[in-house]
Amino acid sequence: MNSFNSPSFFAGQTVLVLGGDGFCGWPAALRFSSLAARVVILDNGARRETDRRLGVTSLTRIHSLQERVDAWRATGGGAIQTYDIDLAENYAGLRRVLLETRPDIIIHFAEQRSAPYSMMSPEGARHSVDNNIRATHNLLAALAETRLDPHLMHLGTIGVYGYATAGLKLPEGYLKVTAHGADGRAVDKEILYPGRPDSVYHMTKMLDQHLFEFYARYHGIRITDLHQGIVWGTQTAETGRDPRLVNRFDHDAIYGTVTNRFIVQALEGRPLTIYGSGSQTRGFIHIEDMLTCLTLAAATPTARGERVRILNQIAETSSINALARKVSRLTGAEVVHVDNPRCEPEGNEFEVDRGTFHDLGFVAHRFDEILGTEIAQLGDLLCPRGEGRRSSVA
């Protein structure tokens, strides 16, 4: 089954969540806390600061990290320690946190995570590269220096592979090849998948992967890189417990994913806008399923000396057109096509090996099963007293 039946599964373990105030990080912190781990959050509030700078905001009213942590404790959750430290800029602070908390598991979400943001300006591109590479490398250097031996789990992206896959079913991180040398000699090798990222953001996650490969090989650091699809959904079992625990919901052009954008458009009675032909195929995963995958990966840590474990963390693939049709069917929303503001291949094949999580017992929730419930819940969340919602949700 998908979930951990024992509520004390991670008892005795310390989980350090880097970026634990963010859209994925906050629900992950609560999930591990609910499974009895001692949870520590390191977050410098970068995502909230980006909101202010770009003039965008979560549609749900998110509380300060301190209020969130206090509310979790007040509603029966465990204590969560927090550190306001910039992973990319404060190496000494990071090292101190590592030595003070001695984590068994580190989950690294602390990166700039928007592809459009990384492509919209030189500043966006530079910040994505500078912040993400420095953050990841600081973490690896600190683990090598302190000789702590946590299992490091990193949120990569399925976009590391690139969407022009040349007709191959994508493996989990490593590609078997017959290599033909400059003199024609042929050798069988297994190599990191030679990705062709479609944005600067995706490229940073490819560079991360090379940093991981090096530090695993040289310093024996135990690493799992989770190549996740587009996360959709908002609330989880834990964030739904109290309004002060609510998760963020982005629907703007920069941080909102296609799923969120469609749902908000439908709830407001506007047409669903498809970028380009809509035949782009992408990988998706519901936020509850993300938590299941994280706990499954955490429960099966890699061994020292092992190469980086790379897992594809998606529930299903779908074309954007098929997704729009599903939302339309549930809400009655119109579907329109607009010029694609992104530079991306259209009509790509996209088949992905998901063997490891399947073998670990993961059963994904699919759009067909839960999209209707999700839309209805989100409608209630955004317009709790029925005020002003212009569309009806089937």
State which residue, 263 or 310, has the beta carbon closest to its own copies: 310
Nearer to its own copies, 2 or 146 (CB): 146
Note whether 211 binds its own copies by CB under 8 A: yes
Please tell me the distance from the alpha carbon of residue 363 to that of residue 343, in angstroms, as a whole number. Answer: 33
CA distances to 22, 138, 205, 308 from 141, rounded to whole Å, are 24, 5, 17, 16
| 221 near its own copies, rule: CB under 8 A | no
Q: How far is the CB of 145 from its own copies (least distance, A)?
A: 4
Looking at 2-10, 62-70, 133-141, 250-258, which segment touches its own copies (CB under 8 A)?
A: 133-141
Rule CB under 8 A: choose which of 12, 122, 384, 388 binds its own copies.
122
Task: Please measure the distance between the N-terminal and C-terminal CA atoms of the chain and give it in whole angstroms.
Answer: 30
Q: How many angstroms separate the CA atoms of 240 and 249, rounded?
A: 13
Is residue 160 a contact residue for its own copies (CB under 8 A)?
no
**DSSP assignment of 277-343:** TS--EEEEEEHHHHHHHHHHHHHSPPPTTPPPEEEEE-SEEEEHHHHHHHHHHHH---EEEE---S-
Residue count, binding to its own copies (CB under 8 A): 52
> CA quadruple 211, 343, 24, 3: dihedral positive or negative?
negative
User: Is there a catalytic annotation at residue 176?
Assistant: no
- The answer to whether 157 is a known catalytic residue is yes
Q: Is 189 a catalytic residue?
A: no
Question: Could you say whether residue 214 binds its own copies (CB under 8 A)?
Answer: yes
User: What stretches of the chain show up as alpha helix (H) in DSSP?
Assistant: 25-34, 46-54, 65-74, 91-101, 115-119, 122-146, 200-219, 258-267, 287-299, 320-331, 355-359, 367-382
Q: What is the DSSP string of 5-51?
A: S-TTTTTT-EEEEETTTSTTHHHHHHHHHHTT-EEEEE---HHHHHH
Residues 300, 218: Cα–Cα separation, whole Å: 22
Using CB under 8 A, pick the residue from 63, 96, 102, 137 that binds its own copies.
137
Reading the block at residue 298, the tokens are 């955490």
In the complex with its own copies, which residue's Cβ is closer, 52 or 342?
A: 342
- Find the part of the chain contacting its own copies (CB under 8 A) among 34-42, 75-83, 182-190, 328-336: 182-190
Element (H, E) at 274: strand 272-275
**Of 141, 302, 103, 298, which is closest to residue 222 (Cα–Cα)?**
302
Q: Is 30 in the site for its own copies (CB under 8 A)?
A: no
- For its own copies, give the closer residue by CB, 315 or 375: 315
Nearer to its own copies, 161 or 275 (CB): 161
Using the rule CB under 8 A, which residue among 52, 61, 73, 189 binds its own copies?
189
Site string (299-338) toward its own copies, x via CB under 8 A: ----------------------------------------
Sign of CA dihedral 89, 110, 11, 27: positive
Q: Which of residues 332-371 bind its own copies (CB under 8 A)?
A: 343, 351-353, 355
Please pick, among 101, 157, 236, 331, the residue that the annotation labels catalytic: 157
Query: Binder to its own copies among 11, 99, 191, 299 (CB under 8 A)?
Result: 191
Give me the residues that bind its own copies (CB under 8 A), please.
91, 122, 125-126, 129-130, 133-134, 137-138, 141-142, 144-145, 166-172, 175-183, 185, 187, 189, 191-192, 194, 196-197, 200, 203, 206-207, 210-211, 214, 217-218, 343, 351-353, 355
Q: Active-site residues: which are they?
A: 157, 201, 205
